[in-house]
């Protein structure tokens, strides 16, 4: 039965992967400018971005999804379930990712920028060649964590009727009446994906490793 249900579950897995990548990507695109504004911005920009980040870190994902999918149509903004989920996952993840990047940029000491400026680099060049490569390494471990959180939380798309891994599983259960086996299979697929994501990011970390930048193992 597990074997028979696999093709359908894998179809759902594909949607789960799509949700994860698009959600993470949207989160990244929003998080980069937000973190920049929080570190380098003026008082107003910092305030707005902090407000944004606090707000969306405090709203449960499910509530956010409901707001996007059921709430927004009331003011005339309508999204398909899949798009609503990407927006919800992306906005929430952007709040968390912005804090990862903000922390990583701040971990690179002020002296690094001063030294870069002192040899004649422009502020942009100091960021590009000196701050960014170091911040990138500081952010990898926490970003891997965020990656797996978005992956797992994409299952909330179930609530909006997006046919991802979990919903495909429940469809199968409605005809086979085997919730234990099917949900366990779903769990195993999530586990496999999370492990692979960690492996992949671990590989990237190793590739970029430099003495003095060793990161401690992060467990999930």
Q: Which residues bind other proteins (CB under 8 A)?
A: 109, 111-112, 114-122, 125, 129-130, 133-134, 137, 210-213
CB of residue 217 to other proteins, shortest distance in Å = 19
- Which is closer to other proteins, CB of 22 or CB of 116? 116
CB of residue 119 to other proteins, shortest distance in Å = 4
CB of residue 132 to other proteins, shortest distance in Å = 10
Please return the burial class of 103, using the count of CB atoms within 10 Å of its CB with bins 0-12, 13-18 and 19+. Answer: middle
Longest dimension (CA), the chain: 70
- Which is closer to other proteins, CB of 45 or CB of 136? 136
Report the b/e string of 139-150 with b at 16+ CB within 10 A: bbbbbbbbbbbb
CB of residue 113 to other proteins, shortest distance in Å = 9
Residue located via tokens 């989160």: 27
CB of residue 120 to other proteins, shortest distance in Å = 3
CB of residue 116 to other proteins, shortest distance in Å = 7
To the nearest 10°, the Cα dihedral for 94, 95, 100, 102? Answer: 100
Angle between helices 179-207 and 132-153 in degrees, nearest 10? 180
CB of residue 165 to other proteins, shortest distance in Å = 39
Q: Of 77, 67, 133, which is closest to residue 105 (Cα–Cα)?
A: 133
- Which is closer to other proteins, CB of 49 or CB of 116? 116
- Which is closer to other proteins, CB of 52 or CB of 127? 127
- Which is closer to other proteins, CB of 81 or CB of 133? 133
Q: Of 167, 147, 146, which is closest to residue 156 (Cα–Cα)?
A: 167
- Which is closer to other proteins, CB of 126 or CB of 168? 126
Separation CA 64–CA 67 (nearest Å): 5
- Which is closer to other proteins, CB of 73 or CB of 109? 109
Where would I find the H helices in the chain?
2-40, 43-58, 61-66, 81-107, 110-118, 123-126, 132-153, 165-176, 179-207
């Amino acid at each position: 039965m597990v074997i028979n249900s696999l093709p359908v579950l894998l179809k759902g897995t594909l949607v789960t992967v799509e949700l994860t990548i698009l959600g993470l990507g949207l989160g990244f695109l929003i998080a980069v400018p937000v973190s920049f504004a929080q570190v380098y911005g003026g008082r107003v920009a910092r305030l707005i971005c902090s407000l944004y980040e606090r707000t969306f870190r405090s709203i449960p994902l499910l509530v956010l999804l409901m707001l996007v999918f059921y709430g927004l149509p009331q003011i005339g903004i309508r999204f398909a379930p899949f798009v609503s989920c990407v927006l919800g996952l992306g906005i929430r993840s952007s709040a968390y990712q912005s804090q990862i990047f903000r922390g990583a940029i701040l971990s690179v000491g002020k002296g690094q920028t001063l030294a870069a400026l002192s040899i004649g680099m422009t502020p942009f060049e100091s960021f590009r060649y000196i701050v960014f490569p170091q911040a990138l390494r500081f952010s990898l471990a926490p970003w891997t964590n965020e990656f797996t959180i978005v992956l797992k939380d994409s299952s909330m798309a179930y609530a909006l009727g997006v046919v991802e891994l979990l919903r495909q599983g429940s469809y199968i259960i409605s005809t086979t009446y085997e919730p234990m086996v099917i949900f366990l299979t779903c769990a195993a697929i999530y586990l496999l994906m999370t492990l692979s994501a960690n492996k992949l990011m671990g590989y990237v970390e190793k590739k970029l490793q430099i003495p003095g930048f060793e990161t401690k193992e992060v467990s999930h």
